[in-house]
Amino acid sequence: MLPAPKIHRFLPFLLMALALVFIVRQPDKAAAVATGAVTGLMTVTDALVTFASSLG
């Protein structure tokens, strides 16, 4: 019997390949997604800093 494939090794490569295809085929949309993701991370970070500074 063949061993089951280890998806945790294959998944990062699959996600990187899909991201690369997305960037190459639709660079404008990829840039918008990246900008939105960075903006979201900045919003979360700002909220956490505000919370931490109000603790003490």
Residue 2 lies in a domain: no
- Tens-place pLDDT, residues 33-42: 999 999 999 9
Tell me which residue range forms the domain holding 22: 7-55
Mean pLDDT, the chain, integer: 91
* Amino acid (1-letter code) at residue 13: F
Residue 1 lies in a domain: no
Q: What is the pLDDT of residue 28?
A: 97
- Give the total number of structural domains in the chain: 1
Residue 11 lies in a domain: yes
Task: Compute the distance between CA of residue 11 and CA of residue 17 in angstroms, rounded to an integer.
Answer: 10
Residue 25 lies in a domain: yes
CB 53 within 8 A of CB 45: no
- Tens-place pLDDT, residues 5-23: 677 788 899 999 999 999 9
